[in-house]
Amino acid sequence: MQQFILPVLLILSLIPCCIEIDISAPSFPEIASYFGVSEGKVGMTIAYNFLGFWVSAVLYGPLSECYGRRRIMISGNALLLIGAFGCGTVTTIDQLLIWRFIQGLGASTSAVIVFAMVADVYKGNKAIRLIGVMNAILTFIMAIAPVIGSFINRAWGWRGNYFIVAGVSLISWILLLKMLPETKRNLQKFHFGKIHQDYKTLLKSPEFIGTSFVPSMLYASYMAFIACGPFLYMETFKLSIFTYACHQGAIIAIFSLISLSSDHVMGVLGKKNCIVFGVTASFISAAVLNIISLFWPNSPFLVTSFMIIFCMGFALCYPIIFSASLELFPKIKGIASSLTMALRALICALVVGVTSFFYNGHPLSVFFVVLLATIFVFMLTRYYLLKKIF
């Protein structure tokens, strides 16, 4: 029974931090209008969120090694709940940025600890399979989040989306408090010197840095698109909020389907071929999106189609590379998960921040950044990871 309950609780704990961006994205133009600020300023709400995520992600892994996964999960998710509620009560854009930062401090909890708990309980292909299933379920929820967000925005305005996230966070937090078991059996004493040494060990490992950077850069590229997507579809392409949400939902739905079948595909193609096909598909689609931006800059269906291909490639290689990053140092999985998520959040904050700063309403201002990030991923994977690890 516990083998069923644990994955369910882990997925439930991830839902608030997975939907907090996608459900509010359709409201971005209204937020910009409400506060009288630029599109880039609103896009920075995502960057600030990831900045908070980065700050706390460095701490949660080591703390969970010393005080247990359960205690940190409950404490951090309470912070996520407080941050989500605060976002719905703000009166200025600067207040929203602050609360989004606080929300990010809490959102990293599940993102870090959940995968450490998976690594505690599941090994090898079972861990890869569970990560794939979790990605599939969560990305399906993320797929419908923009559609739901568009309806919430119509009914209750942009604040409604943040209050919905707060409500989901409250339900998740109560269930964690009542039912979440402890998976970390051998707790360590808190020793700053050891934590520092563990981080130093990870940072000095090219294999760990490589396996952390590849999924992080692909994810950051996707988040750069998410940050500017509402303005691109609704202002440049002149689509309605609901039509935009359907485009966004379709992109994430395909990611979900590929994630769900990744275990089967891996069994047929093998890990190495999945990585090769996945990274190559993302790279080619990013290049084509730049060509579309130059010659057909007002083509939402072409943009959506090749973003789907980008996400298909991402979904194919993500669980394999991410699982490998946690298996490199099995004795410090919590710290490894913490550093991986911290690096991901920092990369996302930087990439989203740069994209938001340079966004000018033209799709090229988004997809050129995506292409640069994907070139880095392609080169790192092709000339290092495939030779050293896979």
Query: How many angstroms separate the CA atoms of 219 and 196, rounded?
Result: 27
Is 324 inside a domain boundary?
Answer: yes
Please report the pLDDT score of residue 145 as a whole number: 80
DSSP label at 385? I
**CATH code: domain of residue 266:** 1.20.1250.20
Give one DSSP letter per residue of 157-190, joined into a string. -HHHHHHHHHHHHHHHHHHHHHHPPP---S----
* Number of domains, the chain: 1
Query: How many angstroms separate the CA atoms of 257 and 302, rounded?
Result: 20
Is 188 inside a domain boundary?
Answer: no
**Domain limits for position 51:** 2-178+201-388
Please report the pLDDT score of residue 1 as a whole number: 46
Please report the pLDDT score of residue 112 as a whole number: 83
With a cut of 50, list the residues of the chain below it in pLDDT: 1
Is 187 inside a domain boundary?
Answer: no
**Nearest one of 239, 219, 207 to 328, comparing CA atoms:** 207
Is 184 inside a domain boundary?
Answer: no
What lies within 8 Å, CB to CB, of 198 at 6+ separation is: 62, 332, 335
Is 106 inside a domain boundary?
Answer: yes
Give one DSSP letter per residue of 70-106, joined into a string. HHHHHHHHHHHHHHHHHHTT-SSHHHHHHHHHHHHHH
Is 192 inside a domain boundary?
Answer: no
Is 333 inside a domain boundary?
Answer: yes
Is 196 inside a domain boundary?
Answer: no
* Tokens (6 digits) for 40: 């880039």
Query: How many angstroms separate the CA atoms of 2 and 183, rounded?
Result: 11
